[in-house]
Amino acid sequence: MERAIEEIVHNILSETNSQNRDNISRTVSYASFYKRNPEIRWAMLGSLVSRNAGYSMCDLKGDWLPRMLSADTRKHLFLTYERANWLIFQDAFPQLLLYEYSKQQGIPFFHLLKCLGVSRFMEVEWKRFWRERDLKRLCTSLIINEQHVIEKPVIKDGFYKRRIFSSVPFLLQDYMHFSTVLFPVESGDVIGISIHGFKKTSNRIETGKTLYTILFESKWSEEILSFSNKVTHTGSRHDFERYIYPKKKRETPFLRVAFPVIKHHSSNRVDWYKKNMNTEKFYGAVKPLHKICLTDWYRQKQRQLKIGILLKEWIQHA
């Protein structure tokens, strides 16, 4: 029995490591899992948020941002996106695979989550989901978990705090889409939200819950899912910009051409969940959706960024 458990854990970790190679493999793995298990909605949400991380990464090697940010700043920004997304995948994907294995066997194996380094919080939530099949609660639980997973090693880590969250001006954080997630559709519209206060865990959780609402409970749901199904993720913003501006030339590269594969170290994971911690407060209803079609905002944002860069260059050379 012990050997069988070791084998399950080994296979899951091995599969996770092979899929956690870069932004492209993560995005595709989440989406493939969702197709096999559509009841695990977080996987689709994870895939779409991962697409956005790819766009932000490729911007750093595009036609415009290198004219505004130093090579050093761009390198650190890339590492911030990469580290956060790697950590989330390393924690979440084993959970998904263990659920899939449990489903195939017809019995829950969630007691093995601790062998995979997953929080006790998620063990309770997976067991609850197995009994109650509350799709939305499980997705919210995974959102709560992922945002706590990155809190200490990324958001509060000395290196990222010093080099990124304290040194990059907040306006630039807005441009970098730290707090904006876009869901493109084939009509050329982009649906999404832009929020402030990225550094606060509760704000990031509320963002995730709002994105869930847009993705699964709004009039845009079908079109967003259809786009992600049809359009291959390359990391380049051109994947969706060609629908907004049909004649626009590519301004950002393919991710796998622009960036090397990063070798990550697994830091000693400490369970973020503490006994008697009030996590129920995170399950409240989200605010009603308001102005989620961001197409005009996106066009304006891109214009502002380019004008700002051209103005800076003009002043420097005047």
pLDDT digits (tens, 9 = 90+) for 94-134: 999 999 999 999 999 999 999 999 999 999 999 999 999 99
- Residue 2 has what pLDDT? 75
Q: Mean pLDDT over residues 251-273, rounded?
A: 92
% the chain with pLDDT above 70: 92
Q: Which of 154, 105, 144 is nearest to 264 (CA)?
A: 154
pLDDT band of 175, cuts 50, 70, 90: low
* Euclidean distance between CA atoms 170 and 58, whole angstroms: 20
Cα(147)–Cα(88) distance, integer angstroms: 8
Average pLDDT over the chain, rounded to whole? 91
Give, in order, the Cα–Cα distances in Å from 208 to each of 144, 254, 315. Answer: 9, 26, 40
Distance of CA 52 to the CA centre of its chain: 7
The per-residue pLDDT for 170 is 43
Please give the torsion angle defined by the CA atoms of residues 73, 265, 99 and 220, in that order, rounded to the nearest 10 degrees. Answer: 10
Q: Which domain holds residue 108?
A: 2-317
Q: Is the pLDDT of residue 164 over 90?
A: no
pLDDT at 13: 96
Nearest to 182 by CA among 48, 28, 45, 22: 48
**Is the alpha carbon torsion for 161, 25, 273, 5 positive or negative?**
negative
* 3-state secondary structure (DSSP) of residue 233: coil
What's the pLDDT tens digit per position in 19-57?
Answer: 999 999 999 999 999 999 999 999 999 999 999 999 999
Count how many domains the chain has.
Answer: 1
Please work out, in degrees rounded to the nearest 5, the angle formed at the alpha carbon of residue 212 by the alpha carbons of 16 and 130: 60
Give me Rg for the CA atoms of the chain. Answer: 20
**Token reading at 204:** 């990031």
**Rounded percentage of the chain residues whose pLDDT exceeds 90:** 76
> In one letter, which amino acid is 198?
F
The position carrying tokens 């407060």 is 281
d(CA 164, CA 40): 33
pTM, entire model: 0.94
